[in-house]
Amino acid sequence: MVWAWVRGSAHLFCCLVESMTLQLAIRSYAFSLTRPLQTASGVWQRREGWLLRLSCSISGRVGWGEVAPLDPQHRPACARVITRWENPGGVEFHRDQLEALLPTLPAEVGFGLGASLAELDGDVQAWLPAPSSACLLPAGPAMLPMLDQLLATHPVGEPITMKWKVAAADFDQEWSLLSCLLDRLPPEARLRLDANAGWDRTEADRWAGVLAGDPRLDWLEQPLAVDDLQGLEDLGQRVPVALDESLLKQPALREQWRGWQVRRPLLEGDPRLLLHQLQEGRPRLMFSTVFETGIGFRWLALMAGLQQRGPTPAAPGLAPGWCPQGRLFSSDPEQVWVAAELGG
């Protein structure tokens, strides 16, 4: 009887929300990473995006979202949508208008709006703390000093996961650095190599020849071009392969690829389906940052935390130490909102 009442109350609340007028407010933000990150796709350092605040004056509920395009080519499309919504006093929408808009939006905007709606509806029962993250190593020779520093401060014998950006410097130089890395890496450590689609098949085969059978290897992350699915499948017969950029270009692969998937929720659109899949125990997903503010990071931490409770727990890729400190990265969305107005 009590459960029926709860379900009935929840249904009534959802129906009321659908008929309510919601107010959407937007603030832009910008910040720089603590140091440039060289990848096969280019150098990342400056991050710019928008925060969304969706509120209902009748219920008093608020939902928060973030729009954080990573690919510079995606930013203009996001900006065109945001510009239509920007107004000092906010913009009013009916709930059904927003739901109808979602499928038409750039994925990054879809995430921000879907996240806001999910929180407004109470879909998130509790925000989870971020699990222990893999350590992100820079490309090129800067990798070794950071590796040594991380290992020196890490408790001996405790598990640690390293992710190294490869295919971002001279191939022969990286090949030499790999030997040094493998010599230094303790047996309890885990290793991920992220090529950002920067290798051809010959290069990937050469790396796989060294790493095949190494118990420390988690996977090669997007080692080949996003469209080289046959090459990725063939390579996956030799070493574990995790897809990343391929999943963004061909979203259908999220239901087809049976190996590991690197998921970046802020780039994938409305997060509610992914949230449901995690709640149902979807395996072999690893969650990765796009260098977001505290509002987007709440979702990343939530999904990584749910993944840890599932059948295939894995350290998320949260890149600790690469974002600066400050209120813009607070777990309190109100603090993030204020920081954006003040410029960080």
Q: Which of 173, 237, 162, 170 is nearest to 205 (CA)?
A: 237
CA distances from 231 to 22, 155, 244 (A): 48, 39, 15
**Per-residue pLDDT, 19:** 61
pTM, two decimal places? 0.92
Residue 221 β-bridge partners:
194, 242
Helices (H) and strands (E) in the chain, counts: 12, 11
**Per-residue pLDDT, 2:** 40
Question: What's the average pLDDT block by block, 10 residues per block, for the chain (344 residues)?
Answer: 44 54 96 95 94 94 97 96 89 94 97 97 94 97 97 94 96 96 97 97 97 97 98 98 98 96 98 97 98 98 98 97 97 97 82
**Per-residue pLDDT, 198:** 96
Q: How far apart are CA 242 and CA 171, in angstroms?
A: 21
**Per-residue pLDDT, 16:** 52
113 C-beta neighbours (distance < 10 Å), count = 25
The tokens for 83 are 């510009």
Residue 94 β-bridge partners:
21
The domain segmentation of the chain, as residue ranges, is 22-125+327-341, 135-309
Alpha-carbon torsion (160, 291, 323, 300), positive or negative: negative
| CB neighbour burial string for 206-238, b if at least 16 within 10 angstroms, e if fewer | ebbeebeeeebbbbbbbbbbbebbebbeebbee
Q: Which of 144, 148, 193 is nearest to 167 (CA)?
A: 193
The CATH number of the domain covering residues in 22-125+327-341 = 3.30.390.10
Architecture of domain 135-309: Alpha-Beta Barrel (3.20)
Q: Which of 57, 133, 79, 71 is nearest to 319 (CA)?
A: 133
**Per-residue pLDDT, 57:** 87
